[in-house]
Amino acid sequence: MRVSVIGAGLGGLCLAQGLRGAGIEAQVFERDPAITARFQGYRLVLNPVGFDALRGCVPRRWYPLLDAVVGDAYGERLILDPQLNQIGELEPGRNAIVVDRDVLRHLLLTGLTVHTGAALTGYDLLADGRVEARFADRDPATADLLVGADGVNSAVRSVLSPQITPTDTGVRFVIGRTPLTEQFTSLSRAFGSKIAGDGVNLLLGAMRFRTPPKEAAEALAPEVTLPDIHDYVRWAMILPPNGSLGTETPQEAVLSRMPGWHPDLRALIEQSDPDNSTLLSIRVVEPAHRWTPGPVTLLGDAIHATSPTGGNGANTALRDADLLRRTLTQAPTLLDAVDNYERHMLDYGAEAVRFSLAALPAYTTQRNQP
């Protein structure tokens, strides 16, 4: 069996690793000109379902490395004012760990065949039951199964199920990263909490690696090359509805909305990495209906993009990858495998989107008084 995976995000790469381990040929096609061509996000919170799915797809020899480069999620999940006084509480956190998205992506890239600069323009179903993917600047690729793991703007979804389109929630946020120096250890109470300001909210999360990733890979899995990254604070400012930066840089936009805030909070933004700060919108994709089953399917944000406030987007994509891996190795035929996968995925994927949207108001409303 041969599988073409469109998109080199976490879900697509996790699937390719799982298929590789099962002896199934998988090629990944990524439209970006290079793996590091654009912003890839920061730390992710993985729940037990997501982490178990990830472990189900990677080689067992990487388990010690994976355990070494994650961190522990903790914090009181409070609502604080700009002077760091408690004014309320968020819902309690769940049992989880944290992982850096870029570190995990580099781990999942190891040993895979990934074609960059491969922008999908469409696909054709062939008479023999296979599918041929067409690209803008490379030769077509033929496979038994085509998997669209190409994100919110999925080119695969636009052909397979054009009625399913992204919905813009109107929420905008600026995200950034600041090295976790001794100066910011005093903010530990704010990690995992929401700081409610005048018209904006600031969310903080610490990424503390159990072992620095580059060092861990050299010691535990020399065939893996991981980024030389160290502990940091991930921050995200939720802007008013349809907010924009105007002509400001991301840091300037955030600081301009923080007059009179605690000096440590302002210093956190001032000392952030300008090359790793950006404005993002929150869009969702809801799997409204089932398409005609066949040798083309979808995975992750391509079919159930969630709001990040739900903390379940990456977990659901990893769950997809592990489920599709298992069905392809266990079902009697490929079409049986795809049918089984889609029936379950569409159900829990729709629930993941609903959950994330239900969680959104807790982060966008301003003060949630106790």
- pLDDT of 130 reads 98
When pLDDT is averaged across residues 130-134 and rounded to a whole number, the result is: 98
DSSP state letters, 231-244? -EEEEEEEPSTT--
The yes-or-no verdict on residue 100 having pLDDT over 80 is yes
**Strand 43-46 relative to strand 2-6: parallel, antiparallel, unpaired?**
unpaired
Across 278-299, average pLDDT: 92
Question: Are 147 and 301 a contacting pair, CB within 8 Å?
Answer: no
The strand pair at 232-238 and 97-100 is best described as unpaired
Contact 322, 14 (CB under 8 A): yes
From edge to edge, which strands make up the β-sheet containing 167-179? 86-89, 78-80, 194-196, 201-207, 232-238, 167-179, 278-284
- Please give the Cα distance from 370 to 367 (Å, whole number): 9
Quote the CA–CA distance of 317 and 328 in Å, as a whole number.
17
Residue 70 contacts residue 187 (beta carbons within 8 Å): no
- Average predicted confidence (pLDDT) for the chain: 92
Strands 145-148 and 2-6, how do they pair?
Answer: parallel
Tokens 């861990």, located at residue = 216
Rounded CA separation 7/28 (Å)? 7
Nearest to 98 by CA among 251, 12, 213, 201: 213
pLDDT band at 244 (very low <50, low <70, confident <90, very high): low
- 323-343 pLDDT, tens digit per residue, is 999 999 999 999 999 999 999
Query: Does residue 369 have a pLDDT over 60?
Result: no
> With contact defined as beta carbons under 8 Å apart, do 112 and 20 qualify?
yes
Q: Which among 306, 361, 273, 330 has a CA at the least distance from the CA of 11? A: 306
pLDDT at 277: 85
How confident is the model over 145-159, as pLDDT tens digits?
999 999 999 999 999
> pLDDT digits over 194-240, tens only?
999 988 899 999 999 999 999 999 999 999 999 999 999 999 998 87
**How confident is the model over 21-76, as pLDDT tens digits?**
999 999 999 999 988 767 666 889 999 999 999 999 999 999 999 999 999 876 67
Q: In Å, how far from its chain's centre is CA 149?
A: 12
pLDDT tens-digit map of 283-293: 999 998 899 88
Q: Who wins on pLDDT, 300 or 40?
A: 300
Q: What are phi and psi of 12, to 5 degrees?
A: -65, -40
Task: Report the helix count and the strand count for the chain, using DSSP H and E.
Answer: 12, 18
pLDDT of residue 199: 85
Of residues 280 and 100, which shows the higher confidence score? 100
Question: Which pair of structure tokens corresponds to residue 193?
Answer: 């909490």
Q: Which residues pair with 173 in a beta bridge?
A: 238, 280
User: Beta 201-207 vs 194-196: how paired, if at all?
Assistant: antiparallel
